[in-house]
Structure 1
């Protein structure tokens, strides 16, 4: 029908063309691949955790979501932004199996710059930012875990907006004793030295881990393009990877 109409309109100097469907932000896809369902599957796989290290903890909302699955673990919340102090103090008050550290995580102890422009965003950097730059304490996770005598096996969660590599470099002992590492990963190099998700998978492979779960995929507001997700990494020699069939 369209071709017949086009023959007619071409004689008049016009052409019919299909209008592209605009991206709709309101589209929601329900999925089995959410953080809570993936954490439930981790428990089902027998993943043992004695300490949860929540880096980029904000006010503790992710640890709150995780706690029903590992209720006996101790939760160490690491957050750089002082505006979350009240929320962290409240979390510690209401959860006796928790503690927090108001600092950024990095390769070694000292101070570092932090982008303080967004309360639930921000990133650490060795160099100051042009705007909203603050200087905050930075600690290596290895030193902090040793200082606090926290017990393995660990769950390490990073919500650190492209600053993952320095944190992992300062957590070699934690990684060696971790059963689960959860990292917010991106489809873009959001910072100069940040890793895209496929680069992160390769980096983690060389640390002895491979991804088991992909959860909470997000499209960016700008154009609906795939933006980020959370990757669940477990040790690459875990028995679960020996079974390679679908059923």
Structure 2
């Protein structure tokens, strides 16, 4: 009876009466992206990761390293980028941060020169074969030679955003890899070139180098058919303490 009276009263004044919905407390924010690059790096630090030098290959204008500096602000950073169009951004980034330096070159197996497909500013690819279109010749450096020349100390974090040219870069980084505590590689569900590896093949290759996958982040679908295209895979030494425990809880 009281409920009906209240309803009529509210209706008379142009209002309606509704039952209040019960608020369900969320244990975690709904928009919290645990599979983001930054979230994974934070988790690695919580597990004890320490880094002295970050080598960012395929650095573009430095945006990835800029994010990484939030997690490793005291590390030294070497950014390797082949496309000259990014130099203005890299120079600005270096001038703002004393722990930053960059190399305008492609990374590869040895020092020299190599061709580069610069069709897209943020999606270039080194290639030993000269292309008919959108092809420039750029310097090539091995990461081992740069680390030695600059006397940069480990432990290292190596990040590769190199669109299928990963194996030659890793072959030119054998000494670096010995002191690497984290290697982040952009891995693919499709074979980008005749010599590139799909993500599961990359995992097998890295196992051969003594590294195992610990995180997978930044999943991407391709525009063509909305299928799984790529992700960034984190590799740490297979001897790491994380792999001594094989249970869920």
TM over 0.5: yes
Match of 1:237 in 2: 239
Q: SS at 2:191's partner residue?
A: coil
Shift of 1:31: 3.4
CA distance, structure 2, for counterparts of residue 98 and residue 211 of structure 1: 28
Match of 1:175 in 2: 177
Task: Check if 1:50 corresponds to 2:52.
Answer: yes
Q: Which of 153, 161, 181 is the aligned partner of 1:159?
A: 161
Deviations 1:29-54 (A, max 9, x none): 86311100000001101111000000
Please tell me whether the aligned partners of residues 154 and 179 of structure 2 are also in contact (alpha carbons under 8 angstroms).
Answer: yes
Match of 1:212 in 2: 214
Please tell me whether the aligned partners of residues 189 and 199 of structure 2 are also in contact (alpha carbons under 8 angstroms).
Answer: yes
Shift of 1:148: 0.6
Shift of 1:223: 0.6
Match of 1:4 in 2: none
Match of 2:96 in 1: 94
Off by >2 Å, runs of 4+ in structure 1 = none
Match of 1:200 in 2: 202
Match of 1:40 in 2: 42
CA RMSD of aligned residues (A): 0.9
Match of 1:61 in 2: 63
Deviations 1:40-96 (A, max 9, x none): 001101111000000000000000010111111000000000000000000000111
CA distance, structure 1, for counterparts of residue 218 and residue 126 of structure 2: 23
CA distance, structure 2, for counterparts of residue 32 and residue 69 of structure 1: 16
Please tell me whether the aligned partners of residues 33 and 39 of structure 2 are also in contact (alpha carbons under 8 angstroms).
Answer: no
CA distance, structure 2, for counterparts of residue 227 and residue 234 of structure 1: 23
Match of 1:20 in 2: none
- Where structure 1 has 5 or more consecutive residues not aligned to the other structure, the ranges are 1-28
CA distance, structure 1, for counterparts of residue 226 and residue 132 of structure 2: 28
Q: Which has the larger radius of gyration?
A: 2
Match of 1:186 in 2: 188
- Where structure 2 has 5 or more consecutive residues not aligned to the other structure, the ranges are 1-30
Match of 1:5 in 2: none
In the superposition, the TM-score normalised over structure 1's length comes to 0.87
In the superposition, the TM-score normalised over structure 2's length comes to 0.87
CA distance, structure 1, for counterparts of residue 246 and residue 90 of structure 2: 43
